[in-house]
Amino acid sequence: MPNPEIALIHASCDEVSEDAVKWAYKVGFTWPTVLWPDWEAVGLGAYGAFAGEIFLVDSNGTLVAENEDEAFARIAELK
Amino acid sequence: MKLKHLLHVGIVALLGVGAVSARTWTSANGKNSFEGELKSFDKENNTVTIVYRNGRTVTFGTQKLSEADRTFLEENGKAAADAADPVDVEAALKEQKIGKPLAKKGILSRLEGEKFANFQLEKAPQYYLVYFSASW
Q: What is the DSSP string of B46-103?
A: TEEEEEETTS-EEEEEGGGB-HHHHHHHHHHHHHHHTPPPHHHHHHHHHT-TTHHHHT
Question: Rounded to a whole number, what is the distance in angstroms from the first to the last CA of chain A?
Answer: 9
Question: Does residue B12 sit in the same domain as residue B36?
Answer: yes
Interface of A with B in 56-75 (CB under 8 A): 56-61, 64, 68, 71-72, 75
Distance, CA of A69 to CA of A57 (rounded, Å): 14
Whether B51 maps to a domain, the answer reads yes
Question: Rounded to a whole number, what is the distance in angstroms from the first to the last CA of chain B?
Answer: 16
Enclosing domain of residue A71? 50-79
b/e per residue, B28-49, with b = 16+ CB within 10 A? eeeeeeeebbbbbbbeeeeebb
Whether A1 maps to a domain, the answer reads no
Contact criterion met (CB below 8 Å) for B76 and B19: no
Question: Does residue B107 sit in the same domain as residue B44?
Answer: no
Give the three-class secondary structure for A29.
coil
Whether B126 maps to a domain, the answer reads no
Question: Does residue B39 sit in the same domain as residue B20?
Answer: yes
Size of interface A-B (CB pairs under 8 A): 199
A54/B111 Cβ within 8 A: no
The total number of structural domains that make up chain B: 2
B95 CA to chain A: closest CA distance, Å?
9
Distance, CA of B102 to CA of A3 (rounded, Å): 19
Each residue of A15-70: pLDDT tens digit? 999 999 999 998 888 889 999 999 999 999 998 889 989 999 999 999 999 998 89
> Is the overall model pTM greater than 0.90, yes or no?
no
Return the pLDDT at B101. Answer: 96
Return the pLDDT at B45. Answer: 87
Question: Does residue A15 sit in the same domain as residue A42?
Answer: yes
Asked if the peptide bond before residue A2 counts as cis, ω within 30 degrees of 0, the response is: no
Question: Does residue A42 sit in the same domain as residue A54?
Answer: no
Q: Does A77 touch chain B (CB under 8 A)?
A: no
- What angle is formed at CA B85 by the lines to CA B132 and CA A77, rounded to 5 degrees? 45
Question: Does residue B19 sit in the same domain as residue B43?
Answer: yes
Whether A66 maps to a domain, the answer reads yes
Question: Does residue A41 sit in the same domain as residue A68?
Answer: no
Whether B45 maps to a domain, the answer reads yes
Whether B14 maps to a domain, the answer reads yes
Enclosing domain of residue B99? 86-118
Question: Does residue A54 sit in the same domain as residue A31?
Answer: no
Whether A58 maps to a domain, the answer reads yes
A60/B96 Cβ within 8 A: yes
B85 CA to chain A: closest CA distance, Å?
14
Question: Does residue B62 sit in the same domain as residue B10?
Answer: yes
The total number of structural domains that make up chain A: 2
Each residue of B16-71: pLDDT tens digit? 443 345 788 999 999 999 888 888 888 888 899 888 877 778 889 999 999 999 99
Whether B130 maps to a domain, the answer reads no
